[in-house]
Amino acid sequence: MASPTSVGEWVQRVGLALLLLEVATAPMWYGAVLPDGKFLLEILAFTTAALATISSPRSSMGWARIPIFSTLALAALGAFQLLGLPHGWISRLSPNSALLYGRTQNVTALFRRPPLVWRISVSPGETASASLLIAAYAALFFSAALLGSSRNRRRFVQGAILAAGIVYAGFAAITEAPIDRIHGPFVNPNHLAGYLEIGLCLAFGLLWTEILVNRERAAGLSDKRERLERRLFAMGWKIILWSVVAAALALTRSRGGISAAVLTSAIVFLLALSRRGRERKWSVAWRSGAILLTGIAVTAFAVGRYPLLRFLISDPRDPSSDLRTTLWKISIEAWRSFPLLGSGLGAFREAFRLVQPADLPLLVEQAHDSFLQILVTGGLIGATLSVLTVGSLLIVLLRAWRLEPHREERSLLLAAAGVLISLCMHDLVEFNFSVPAIPATMAIALGTAWAGRSDPDRLPAPRPAAAD
């Protein structure tokens, strides 16, 4: 008869396999925006969370409970928006929702239809879908944080995310026209860029780990050529890996994605240097700077001049900056129609139509700014919960990074913080968080990084950075 320990280990392995399957399949079906893709993503997320809970019942999330609970609270807000409430309550909580349901009921009464269920959400189907997806993201973070309990498992998940990004982008580069921006399984090249930003930060984490440990790889070897060969090989393939992901991102020619990646790389690099002792900081700075410049040169050679040219010329297929500004202004007007509780998670299109001017003959489904999007659909309460989720998640990751004494886990935590920073910056002008594959993959990456943290309550005081 199998022991409880061995049964739990097998359950964890099945959960890890499902997590890796999620990584591999999430970008399919246009980034899981279609019903089949969403359904598969949610089934895998909730099943994986159940297996992780069964096999690791005593594991603690630590401070990550704050972003997990705030994410679940946002999903609960969507559930509240779906509740059937008395007319008087709806009139007080969301007057415009009551007005819309009243008008609709006047029409349906002409055809002797049953009375409507009055809700805050003006698109119940979209709100139910959005609430389930948000809960699935929390489940994926939770699952990765429990299942990534060993260094090898975390490496498997990191490798799966990087491999998926390279495979999807590589296939796109081969099959799509050379003059076009690659988009892979996504409809929009900007979304492929957002997806690749996750892999780029993880590749930086691997590269930074190698920068910290590279000298030790030749310890004990007396032959100089063998020492040099071992160190160059270990560093070389990580530079190439980072360059390949960066080249794929550049081929999307996404202004927002490339700008966010460049700024995030600079921020993460400076943060990484801040952990070094004063006497070693400049030594590490010039070596790592030279390595990163080598990676940038390889990337530039691989992709050519077209990504740079796109920053200098306009692309008529993209929404212009003037159009984006118009969408933002109208989105603010839409929020004013549903200020406190929003129009219903996922119901941006319906709320936007109410205030859309006649001289804007477009079907607008996204605000091209994730904060404005959640402000319209979740109101002030939803926006507050979103800021709390992102802010607390960034704080707990950086706090864990500052306390972490192990170099590989520390680099992974910093890379995870970079993922969050990069996507938030990109989503000031885009809507990556509305494409399920991207937040789902991000949740797995961040949860895996959190799994590697050391509990400061069980550790001795961290050593000085100079002794690292």
pLDDT tens digits, 314-330: 444 444 457 888 999 99
Note the pTM of the prediction, 2 decimals. Answer: 0.89
**Is the CB of residue 190 less than 8 Å from the CB of residue 50?**
no
Q: For residues 178 and 246, what is the distance between their CA atoms, to the nearest angstrom? A: 17
Question: Among 422, 453, 451, 447, which residue's Cα sits nearest to residue 136?
Answer: 447
403 CB neighbour count, 10 Å cutoff: 16
pLDDT tens digits, 126-183: 999 999 999 999 999 999 999 998 999 999 999 999 999 999 999 998 888 766 789 9
Question: Among 51, 120, 58, which residue's Cα sits nearest to residue 85?
Answer: 120
Look at residue 61 in the predicted model and tell me its pLDDT: 86
**Is the CB of residue 148 less than 8 Å from the CB of residue 451?**
yes
C-alpha distances (whole Å) from 253 to each of 222, 260, 300, 304, 359 are: 47, 12, 13, 11, 30
Residue 33 CA neighbour count, 13 Å, CB half: 15
Question: What tens-digit pLDDT sequence spans the chain (468 residues)?
Answer: 455 567 888 999 999 999 999 999 999 889 999 999 999 999 999 999 999 999 876 667 889 999 999 999 999 999 999 999 998 899 999 999 999 888 888 888 778 788 888 999 999 999 999 999 999 999 999 999 999 989 999 999 999 999 999 999 999 988 887 667 899 999 999 999 999 999 999 999 999 898 888 777 766 666 677 777 777 888 888 888 988 999 899 889 888 998 999 899 989 988 988 876 544 555 555 555 665 566 555 555 455 555 555 545 544 444 445 788 899 999 999 999 999 999 999 999 999 999 999 888 888 999 999 999 999 999 999 999 999 999 999 999 999 999 999 999 999 999 999 999 999 999 999 999 999 999 999 999 999 999 998 754 434 444 444 434
Q: For residues 227 and 232, what is the distance between their CA atoms, to the nearest angstrom? A: 9
Look at residue 391 in the predicted model and tell me its pLDDT: 97
Q: For residues 246 and 294, what is the distance between their CA atoms, to the nearest angstrom? A: 12
Q: For residues 411 and 392, what is the distance between their CA atoms, to the nearest angstrom? A: 19
Contacts of 115 (CB under 8 A, 6+ apart): 105
Q: For residues 15 and 55, what is the distance between their CA atoms, to the nearest angstrom? A: 9
Radius of gyration of the chain (CA): 24
- What is the total residue count of the chain? 468
Look at residue 5 in the predicted model and tell me its pLDDT: 61
Question: Among 120, 53, 56, 125, which residue's Cα sits nearest to residue 83?
Answer: 120
Contacts of 401 (CB under 8 A, 6+ apart): 271, 410, 413, 414, 417
Question: Among 229, 205, 208, which residue's Cα sits nearest to residue 285?
Answer: 208
Look at residue 103 in the predicted model and tell me its pLDDT: 86
**Is the CB of residue 72 less than 8 Å from the CB of residue 138?**
yes
In the chain, count H helices and then E strands.
18, 0
Q: Is 468 exposed, middle or buried (0-12, 13-18, 19+ CB in 10 A)?
A: middle
Look at residue 109 in the predicted model and tell me its pLDDT: 78
**Is the CB of residue 38 less than 8 Å from the CB of residue 129?**
yes
Look at residue 457 in the predicted model and tell me its pLDDT: 40
- Token readout for 187 is 């409809």
Look at residue 466 in the predicted model and tell me its pLDDT: 41
Question: Among 26, 125, 68, 129, which residue's Cα sits nearest to residue 436?
Answer: 26
